[in-house]
């Protein structure tokens, strides 16, 4: 009797465990934080690393996002697309004239995933600062 009770207990524990080493992740959105920026100084590109940024994008699974810069926020919708063998994130803002929008075009931003897996901005194409974000 005692053996069958112990065997039943071990079987219950074994069947209640998930032995999958890599379970399917639940898509709960993405958060990207600023890790650095690149700008032209004295005719040379200079990269500045950022480790304590309050600059982030929170992407939701429903296609909406919130951009936070310090205590300020803007929001809108985003989509991903592939172009030139790169994954692009296109952010469309609900407010088109915010100083929090870093782009050459009004009301939107275009980022792409670079070879380091970072989101790289395109604001530098019109003399802005190139921003780099890492997924958290």
Per-residue pLDDT of the chain (136 residues; tens, 9 = 90+): 566 555 554 554 555 555 555 555 455 799 999 999 999 999 899 999 999 889 999 999 999 999 999 999 999 999 999 999 999 999 999 998 889 999 999 999 999 999 999 999 999 999 899 999 999 9
On the CB side of 114, CA atoms within 13 Å amount to: 12
- Supply the pTM of this predicted model: 0.76
31: enclosing H helix or E strand: strand 30-41
Alpha-carbon gap, residue 88 to 136, rounded angstroms: 18
Say how far residue 71 (Cα) sits from the centre of its chain: 19
Neighbours of 31 (CB within 10 A): 16
Alpha-carbon gap, residue 131 to 48, rounded angstroms: 10
The per-residue pLDDT for 12 is 45
DSSP state of 60: -
3-class DSSP state of 4: helix
């Amino acid at each position: 009797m005692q053996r069958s009770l112990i065997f039943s207990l071990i079987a219950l524990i074994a069947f209640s465990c998930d032995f999958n080493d890599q379970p399917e992740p639940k898509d709960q959105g993405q958060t990207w934080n600023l890790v650095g920026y690149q700008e032209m100084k004295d005719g040379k590109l200079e990269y500045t690393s950022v480790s304590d940024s309050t600059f982030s994008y929170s992407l939701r699974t429903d296609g909406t996002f919130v951009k936070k810069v310090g205590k300020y926020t803007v929001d809108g919708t985003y989509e991903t697309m592939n172009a030139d063998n790169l994954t692009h994130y296109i952010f469309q803002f609900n407010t088109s004239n915010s100083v929090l929008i870093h782009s050459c075009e009004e009301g939107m931003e275009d980022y792409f995933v670079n070879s380091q897996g970072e989101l790289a901005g395109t604001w530098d194409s019109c003399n802005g600062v190139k921003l780099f974000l890492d997924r958290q």
